[in-house]
Chain A
Amino acid sequence: MSIEWKDYAPGEFYDELISSPGCAREPAEQLIEYLQTLSDEDINSRKIAAESTIKEMGVSFTVYTEGGNIDRAWPFDILPRVISKTQWDKTAAGLKQRLKALNMFIDDLYHEQKVLKDGIVPEFVLKQSVNYRKECEGVSPRFGVWAHVCGTDLVRDKDGQFYVLEDNLRVPSGVSYMLENRSIMKRVIPEVFEKVNIAPVGDYPENLFDTLAALSPRDVEKPVVVVLTPGIFNSAYFEHAFLAQRMGAELVEGSDLVVLEDNCVYMKTIAGLERVDVIYRRIDDMFLDPEVFHPESVLGVRGLMRAWRAGNVALANAPGAGVADDKVVYAFVPDIIRYYLDEEPLIPNVETFLCYDDKQREYVLANLDKLVVKPANESGGYGMLVGPHSTKKDRETFAELIKANPRNYIAQPTLALSTAPTIVGKNKVEPRHLDLRPFVLQSRDSYVTTGGLTRVAMKKGSLVVNSSQGGGSKDTWIVDTGTGIE
């Protein structure tokens, strides 16, 4: 027996692979055809192979629990998600457009603040932003770029259209899993890669390195690029090590670096101190420099901000870049794109209600059972209210929270997130909701990953895709259906 696609029913949702019972979407046709040749047993053995591959490759992430930190194997579904190249190219252009405008916005905020003076974004947004850093005012990073690495969360609604759900401009993670997912797939179902014209994803580390190297303040042939990690207990440590290795950069912790009187950053090597040019930092702003931010931080480097302001070291992302991934700012991004680029946004936002506005708040409070409410500055899916899945008590709590601090909350309609066939239990295939996180790079040039990390909510009906909360992932295929190589 192989998968019975006629029984697969995504219902009202847009399904990524199946357009109607038994019918594959064009870019997924060859995949479905191939899956048809596999028996239940085949599929099960591939699934087991994927699981042991993940274990052997040591692909893991850390979950914090009361009982300590657990290193968990990466949850992965072997059925890929497929997107056509034509559609992806348009989306990629939209992502570049968005990051370009966001960087102009950040640069403006730390200089003249024209965007506020011209009334595009209300002043209070800045005044109350927890991610605005006064310490960054007047600093001019190279190319005017503050957010060099951006992870943008995209979702598809019922209509099959991509929407931007969130911009992650601080320390977005997940890209290593995107790359590992592909290598797992190549090991587990190599046959398909021979038949289907699947675009490769492996060039990300090279592009990341070029993006970072271009930021070097010294005009040297080989700038010293390091990845700054909070250490082995961080949930994304796997990724930090992975990227450092793939880029040929040093993986450092705060204690490996020192800033001297000359306001330059050095790393401690067996030969003594060596100057560092570019730091790809994977620790939050507030822990970067105990001299300026949290004085008790042991993760950062004393004097780092001095060195950065003096232009002696590049930080990616720049401190303060997070001001633009505030969920209130999010609501204004389409206007921000129009304002700086004089272009229409290529990818729309999800409709967003701002609770600081009396009318919109009223609507939100009256419709809590239908909406998703998010605090402005949380990530990882924490502190959210998913209206349709909430209890009366949850809604009352949130109504109080919103009234107490309206500026801190936004609300969005509950999206009918798209689904894709996912193996659940033994040999059963059911639709599960998913999102997509592509990664966008910008410095001298810009770059978008081919596809991105597809995260999938493994629980039936669930919309929460975060790996820390039981989400899984899938390989993402960008398939050229046009002039494919025969």
Chain B
Amino acid sequence: MLSKVAERIYWSARYLERVESTARLLSIYDKLMFDLPRRVNLGWYNLIVINSLEEDFNNRYSVRDERNVVKFLLGDDNNPCSVVNSLRAIRENIRTTRDVIPGEAWEMVNELSLFVQESLAHGVNRSVRHEFLESIVKTCQQIVGLLSVNMTRDEAWEMLQLGQNVERADMTTRNLDAGIAAIQQVQDDDYAVNARQIIWGNVLRSLNADQPYRRAMRSSIKGDTVVDFLMGNEQFPRSLTFCANEIAERSKRLPKSEQVVERALAIRSEVSRLLEADEFGASFRDDLNDLQVSLAEVHGLIQTTWFLSDK
């Protein structure tokens, strides 16, 4: 398979995952805000922090309110990761790899891209936002489903899986970090237990993990167990361990994969080591940061190994 095609497919998968998770994050965030005690001061701006977009956002807006955050994450031209820009990137990438992606996927991506651009206002408007975001999430899932049912299990497929898992691992670390940051704002009073539960519940929902969590952990929502699940669970497709395993396994089926496999497995060991800690407090945020750096390294290795084959 052409290096350039591999690269485009890898990015399509990453962006597709990003669109879905951004839409989900936005669609459940207002519920979190309604549930939290008034005294917990967790603003919409937190969503900007989760995605490390502070600089881009502040260049554009001075008011950190709901409207601006939603606009920025959905349709802002200055935000490279906005839903509209991500969809544009997917569309261009798929358009240039139409020879290896099923034709229907192109049609769906094209339709979704048109739909979002045309109905962007629905996302900003609170009363119809939920429906709008739901349909983005659904269509993303349909596209992923369509690919998984139809695509030949060749290198293109492995590239798609690599992109998806690198993006997922990154998203999971970000959501965990955001969770811990929010918990730190909770004051130790009568409402604390309840507030913590709401925050961790929201982290789980952001990753579509609440139901799997309950089944796997058979526990109420508690910080330690949530961290344990989202990092160490072997079966849940968005857990760090699962993603690292997938990256290693998919890479093994591709040529010249030794370095990528080694690095992915190192992340896995790192996760196991971190989970031995007694509690996940402020210093854990540094550990998560280190994990993100490691993931960036895996991404870099994927690039040098397969996308720059002539160098």
Contact = CB atoms under 8 A, between A and B. Distances in A.
Interface of A: 55-58, 232, 241-242, 244-245, 248-253, 255-256, 258, 267-273
A249 B4 CA distance: 15
Contacts of A56: 107, 110-111, 114
A251 B199 CA distance: 48
Contacts of B49: none
Given A55-B114, A253-B4, A256-B3, A270 B255 contact: yes
A52 to B, nearest CB: 10
A271 B5 CA distance: 13
Contacts of B99: 241, 244-245, 248-251
Contact of B92 (A232, A252, A255): A232
A206 to B, nearest CB: 15
Contacts of A55: 110, 114
B63 interface: no
17 contacts: A56-B107, A56-B111, A232-B92, A232-B96, A241-B95, A249-B99, A250-B2, A250-B5, A251-B5, A252-B2, A256-B3, A270-B1, A270-B3, A270-B6, A270-B155, A270-B306, A270-B307
Given A241-B99, A267-B2, A271-B255, A58 B309 contact: no
Interface of B: 1-6, 92, 95-99, 103, 106-107, 110-111, 114, 155, 254-256, 306-307, 309-310
A273 B3 CA distance: 10
Q: SS class of chain B's interface: helix, strand, loop or mixed?
A: helix
A340 to B, nearest CB: 38
A312 B96 CA distance: 27
Contacts of B309: 268-273
Given A245-B98, A271-B255, A271-B256, 8 more contacts: A56-B114, A232-B96, A250-B2, A251-B97, A268-B3, A270-B307, A272-B255, A273-B310
Contacts of A248: 99
Contact of B110 (A58, A242, A256, A272): A58
A267 B4 CA distance: 10
A11 B225 CA distance: 83
User: Which one of A242, A245, A253 has the greatest number of beta carbons of chain B within 10 Å?
Assistant: A245
Contacts of B256: 271
A245 B100 CA distance: 7
Contact of B95 (A232, A253, A273): A232
A190 to B, nearest CB: 18
Contacts of A255: 4
Nearest to B306: A270
A249 B5 CA distance: 13
Contact of B98 (A242, A267, A272): A242
Given A56-B110, A271-B255, A271-B256, A245 B3 contact: no
A269 B2 contact: yes
Contacts of A57: 107, 110
User: Which one of A256, A268, A270, A272 has the greatest number of beta carbons of chain B within 10 Å?
Assistant: A270
A129 to B, nearest CB: 35
Contacts of B4: 253, 255-256, 268
A437 B306 CA distance: 42
Contact of B107 (A58, A244, A252): A58
Nearest to A244: B99
B98 to A, nearest CB: 4
B156 to A, nearest CB: 10
Given A268-B2, A270-B155, A258 B110 contact: no
Contacts of B155: 270
A347 B256 CA distance: 58
A262 to B, nearest CB: 16
Nearest to A242: B98
Contacts of B3: 256, 268-270
A96 B161 CA distance: 48
A269 B310 CA distance: 9
A313 B180 CA distance: 60
A266 to B, nearest CB: 10
A408 B103 CA distance: 44
Which 8 pairs between the two chains have the least Cβ-Cβ distance? A271-B255, A244-B99, A270-B306, A245-B99, A58-B110, A241-B98, A251-B99, A268-B3
A268 B7 CA distance: 12
A268 B5 CA distance: 10
A57 B306 CA distance: 31
A244 B6 CA distance: 16
Nearest to B109: A58
Nearest to B159: A270
B106 A256 contact: no
Given A256-B3, A268-B3, A272-B309, A58 B95 contact: yes
A271 B305 CA distance: 9
A321 B44 CA distance: 63
A269 B254 CA distance: 11
A258 B310 contact: yes
A250 B5 CA distance: 9
Given A241-B98, A242-B98, A256 B255 contact: no
A56 B103 CA distance: 11
Contacts of B111: 56
A56 B5 CA distance: 23
A253 B97 CA distance: 12
Contacts of B110: 55-58
A27 B1 CA distance: 47
A280 to B, nearest CB: 12
B77 to A, nearest CB: 15
